[in-house]
């Protein structure tokens, strides 16, 4: 039996899917989950294009999105803006306990 590695970027071909994917990743307590998801979206959109449009070097973009990186807010913002997305904050829902 042969297995192939799952690549989420192959399925990120729609703006709504991308937004939901990143929103779900942001809900995880581990920041590396969001960074990995951002990397998947960048790969789906084209790393070279994201790097060029954001003003980041391609190697710098790869380093920022690799596991274990400490992604700076400014860099994340450039990447997100370049992808035509926006980050929002809303009140957390509270249970009436």
pLDDT of res. 97: 55
pLDDT of res. 71: 93
Q: What is the CA radius of gyration of the chain?
A: 15
- Pairwise CA distance, residues 51 & 58, whole Å: 5
SS3 state of residue 6: coil
Apex CA 8: angle with CA 13 and CA 17, to 5°?
40
Burial 2-32 (b: 16+ CB within 10 A, else e): eeeeeeeeeebeeeeebeebbeebeeeeeee
Average pLDDT over residues 17-26: 94
pLDDT of res. 93: 79
Report the chain's mean pLDDT, rounded to a whole number: 91
pLDDT at 8 over 80: yes
Average pLDDT over residues 61-84: 93
């Amino acid at each position: 039996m042969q297995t192939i590695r799952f690549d989420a970027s192959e399925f990120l071909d729609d703006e709504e899917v991308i937004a939901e994917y990143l929103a779900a990743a942001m809900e995880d307590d581990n920041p590396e989950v969001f960074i990995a998801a951002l990397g998947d979206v960048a790969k789906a959109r084209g790393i070279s294009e994201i790097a060029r449009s954001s003003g980041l070097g391609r190697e710098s973009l790869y380093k920022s999105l690799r596991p274990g990186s400490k992604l700076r807010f400014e860099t994340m913002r450039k990447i997100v803006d370049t992808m035509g997305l926006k980050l929002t904050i809303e009140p957390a829902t509270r249970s009436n306990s």
